[in-house]
Amino acid sequence: MRWLTADTRSGWRAGFAVGPTFLAIFAGFGIASQATQVPELAAVLATLLVFAAPAQFAMVDLASQGGTLAQVIAIGVLVNLRFVLMSLTLATRFQGVSRWRLAFWAQFVSASSYLLTFFQSRRPEPGNLHDYYRGVVLVTFPAALLGTLGGLALGVGLPDIVAFGGTLFLPIYFALLLASEVRGRYEIGAVLIGLLLTPPLEALAPGWGLFIAAIAAGGLLRSIEGWA
């Protein structure tokens, strides 16, 4: 089959490597939607039409605070503006692809699909980059949808503190990405301490848990570093 090329299969393999991350992050989005009483259909449509966890979390947060539909859409658009530059960058690397196809597949640009395709383009023999990108998307997009549905199912009747923990998947993921780029044990320790402290602190001081945990982790590790 023409669409199932070697480059598409290569993109699949790369997509499977990050698929579990999409499942976890979008499960957190589904749980957050249940916790803030966002209609399930609206949560699913957000993943289908927005497909960007940071924007979706922002939209859910605003909706839970009584934001209007126009405000919710506006915040989603603003958070997603970064994908315009990503799409334009990728489009310059997709040779011989019609504008209509570019416009359609631009809907599925994410940080992971962009970076994986960009890194592939730097290889000595990158192959057909559009086929590779499609392969990544054909794994990550269904993973996001399944994660959302799973989170919505898991979020029914969860205690508030457990539901809040589900919303931490996204910041923890990015924190771990940053930690993986450094060799010091203190940075990784900060992530783990924040993960452990934030849920109970949020229960004690709603809205301040993440902030207090950050100060506590930073102060503790700074002291330990001074003693070492």
Instruction: Please write the tens of the pLDDT for every residue from 59-78.
Output: 887 887 787 878 888 888 88
Percent of the chain clearing pLDDT 70 (strictly above): 69
Cβ atoms of residues 47 and 148 within 8 Å? yes
The least confident of 45-49, 78-82, 87-91, 195-199 is 195-199
| Model pTM above 0.85 | no
Structural domain spans, the chain? 6-159, 162-227
pLDDT at 207: 55
pLDDT at 209: 61
Mean pLDDT score across all residues of the chain: 78
**pLDDT over 70 (residue 36):** yes
The Cβ of residue 149 has, within 10 Å, a number of other Cβ atoms equal to 17
